[in-house]
Amino acid sequence: MLDRVLIVEDDQDIADLIRVNLQELGIHTEHVADGNEAFKQAQEQPWDLLMLDVMLPGMSGLDICRLIRDSKPQQAILMLTAKISETDRVLGLELGADDYMTKPFSVRELQARVRSQLRKARVVQQLSSEQVTHNDQSLQIGKLTIDLQIHQVSLADKVLDLTATEFELLHYLASHPNQVFTRSQLLEAVWGYHHSGYEHTVNSHINRLRSKVELNATTPKIVQTVWGVGYKLNPQGVAL
């Protein structure tokens, strides 16, 4: 079954460029230029990935991202932003986008980003469609349990509502407790690419993850910053 990608972009030339290069990968694409129509299609149809431009006629890409993230927590979302719009990039990530690309972008970068998001989407879809029985395929550190079979995280017996990217980020950190990772290392391990200038992707996801796992995100005890280096998971923060 072909992966399905909805391209939401009001610049026809950019939309055509994306479609041609994704179709080369065997991906089914559809294009919408209007934000209101895009939101309707994103709500009513199943998509493996939404590619959202920020500035659109009608509803903005940022509003679509926020509303879809609320109604479909596992939906993969990739934002398209102008190179100079750092505020839009940060805001898009904070609203729940899994990743972003700045325009103009290279074909190789486009294909790598899309492949990475579709890989995670396939894992989530496979798990949600199977009848799963629990076994030892889980990672537990103190009060934190990461169930790899059903793609679920619980903390002190409370199930956390994480996106697919947040799940992978937490799982990677928890798999190496107390080990400090730079932003570049996390980009490569979780997002599947190494590209300078995209540190905001990691920063924003760390902030969103903290808002869900920490009692007080302003003084994190679990996902901690090691200043000048990067981030680590502190097992003492989830100790029983």
10 has pLDDT over 60: yes
* Region of residue 98 (left: phi > 0; alpha: psi -120 to 50; beta: else): alpha
pLDDT-derived band at 20, boundaries 50, 70, 90: very high
pLDDT-derived band at 131, boundaries 50, 70, 90: very low
Q: Could you give the CA distance from residue 232 to residue 141 in angstroms, rounded to a whole number?
A: 14
In the chain, CATH 1.10.10.10 sits at 138-238
84 has pLDDT over 90: no
Per-residue model confidence (pLDDT) at position 136? 56
Question: In this structure, are strands 152-155 and 49-53 parallel, antiparallel, or unpaired?
Answer: unpaired
95 has pLDDT over 90: no
Q: What confidence tens digit (pLDDT) does each residue in 184-227 have?
A: 899 888 887 666 666 778 888 999 999 999 999 899 999 999 99
CATH topology (fold) of 4-129? Rossmann fold (3.40.50)
pTM, whole model, 2 decimals? 0.72
pLDDT-derived band at 178, boundaries 50, 70, 90: very high
Report DSSP letters for 176-206, one per residue.
STT--B-HHHHIIIIIS---TT-HHHHHHHH
* Region of residue 237 (left: phi > 0; alpha: psi -120 to 50; beta: else): alpha
**CATH (one of 1.10.260.40, 1.10.10.10, 1.10.3720.10, 3.10.129.10) for 138-238:** 1.10.10.10
Q: Coil, strand, or helix at residue 36?
A: helix
Per-residue model confidence (pLDDT) at position 132? 36
Q: What separation in angstroms does the CA of 123 have from each of 48, 68, 119, 129, 238?
A: 11, 20, 7, 10, 27
Per-residue model confidence (pLDDT) at position 134? 39
In the chain, CATH 3.40.50.2300 sits at 4-129
Q: What separation in angstroms does the CA of 106 have from each of 90, 114, 157?
A: 21, 12, 44
